[in-house]
Amino acid sequence: MLFRVAIGLSSASSAHGGNRIQEAQRLGCRPEQLLDASASLVPFPPSRPLRRCLSRALTDCTLRDYPDRSHHQLREAISHWHGVDPAMVLPGNGAAELFTWVARDAALQGVSGLPVPGFADYCRALRCWQGSLQAFPLPLSWTAEAPQPFPLRPAADVLWITNPHNPTGQLWSRASLEPLLQRYRLVVCDEAFLPLVPDGERQSLVPMVVNHPNLVVIRSLTKLFAVAGLRLGYAIGTQERLQRWQQWRDPWPLNGFAIAAGTALMTDRSALERWMVRVQEWVAREGLWMHAQLSDLSGIRPYPSAANFLLIRGDASLVRLREQMAQRRVLLRDCRSFAELGEHWLRIGLQHRSGNRRIVAAFRDLLR
């Protein structure tokens, strides 16, 4: 008997952060006036290779021609970075598009076990295929230990893992995830934030894909390079699985600019390594600073996180505080759309120190 859980989401915008344009309209200001800490993207300006490649794309044939449907160069670049066969890589229109296809496989395998609170898009993807799912609550208290053991063994056919977890920011150890590959018909591991986590790559399941045909790892360039507008992610899985997805999808799911940008970003290995070091140093520095600052405020409590975002919990509902922050042009992530969380919780995406200071100063003012 399949058990179906409704993980309720009222609207697309409340289910996701990063609605700067809509919020600016609502608040009567320009989007640039808002500090958007509701989406968790690196706060750095676009890298030089990215800017160079996008401006070149305006003058070569990228705009005029249909994109390369085989994504040959992009797949080569990604596979080289991860040390896997190019046939095991499928670029997607953001990780979100790939969740849709992996959910189709998941729906055929049986019940999907979803740790909650968790990223809402997995439910959206499963609903596309009438997939059955069951929510498994994660304990809502955790330590700063990183990595830490994955605490659940859901009774399900398919396991969806987010590493590091969104919204808690916990980094799961590869040692605790590896045995789960024997246990489930399909394991989906979303590593969208992993390259931002200091020393996070050591916990990646990418090296396991080659020996585990029931594993799919999904990655995103959105967070690492702050390119949410390009829509660029990729899956690493068996050739047979990815070829099947390729037959299901639109003929040109990725636009030419995204393909060109992804190829430029993933091809230059030393630039990519330097970028990741810079990002991870920022996460380590600002994560500690923000946690310490927020710990000093009364009425809210920050939770430990290995990622570039952290959760806070209020002694009382934080709905009004979030709106007051928005009136001060600071957007925070409403957590009411995360099952198991609710109005006592907010998620904050780390910024540059100046932005983090602005967030703390606004809190200090409002929580006096």
Ligand X SMILES: Cc1ncc(COP(=O)(O)O)c(C=O)c1O
Q: Which of 77, 95, 186, 206 binds ligand X (CB under 6 A)?
A: 95
- The CB-of-320 to ligand X minimum distance in angstroms stands at 25
- The CB-of-228 to ligand X minimum distance in angstroms stands at 5
CA angle 336, 337, 342 (to 5 degrees): 25
Binding residues among 101-130 for ligand X as defined by CB under 6 A: 119
C-beta closer to ligand X: residue 166 or 168: 166
C-beta closer to ligand X: residue 241 or 347: 347
- How many of the other CB atoms lie within 10 Å of CB of 115? 24
- The CB-of-1 to ligand X minimum distance in angstroms stands at 30
Residue span binding ligand X (CB under 6 A) among the ranges 66-74, 91-99, 180-188, 278-286 = 91-99
- How many of the other CB atoms lie within 10 Å of CB of 250? 9
Q: Is the preceding omega at residue 164 within 30 degrees of 0, hence cis?
A: yes
Instruction: Determine if residue 209 is left, alpha or beta; phi over 0 gives left, psi from -120 to 50 gives alpha, anything else beta.
Output: alpha
The yes or no reply on residue 222 touching ligand X (CB under 6 A) is yes
C-beta closer to ligand X: residue 96 or 111: 96
Pairing of strands 158-162, 89-92: unpaired
Query: E strands within the chain?
Result: 35-36, 89-92, 112-116, 133-137, 158-162, 186-190, 215-220, 233-236, 300-302, 309-314, 330-331, 333-334, 345-349
The yes or no reply on residue 220 touching ligand X (CB under 6 A) is yes
Q: Which of 105, 157, 190, 334 binds ligand X (CB under 6 A)?
A: 190
> Do residues 113 and 158 touch, judged by C-beta distance below 8 A?
yes
326: tokens are 């928005």
Q: Is 141 helix (H, G, I), strand (E, B) or coil?
A: coil
The yes or no reply on residue 7 touching ligand X (CB under 6 A) is no
**Residue count at the site for ligand X (CB under 6 A)?**
12
Residue 84: φ, ψ to 5°: -125, 170
The yes or no reply on residue 162 touching ligand X (CB under 6 A) is yes
Pairing of strands 89-92, 233-236: antiparallel
C-beta closer to ligand X: residue 94 or 154: 94
- The CB-of-119 to ligand X minimum distance in angstroms stands at 4
The yes or no reply on residue 163 touching ligand X (CB under 6 A) is no
The yes or no reply on residue 228 touching ligand X (CB under 6 A) is yes
Residue span binding ligand X (CB under 6 A) among the ranges 92-100, 102-110, 260-268, 274-282 = 92-100
Q: Integer distance in angstroms from the first to the last C-alpha of the chain? A: 53
C-beta closer to ligand X: residue 57 or 95: 95
Q: Which of 78, 103, 114, 192 binds ligand X (CB under 6 A)?
A: 192
Residues near ligand X, by CB under 6 A: 94-96, 119, 162, 166, 190, 192, 220, 222, 228, 233
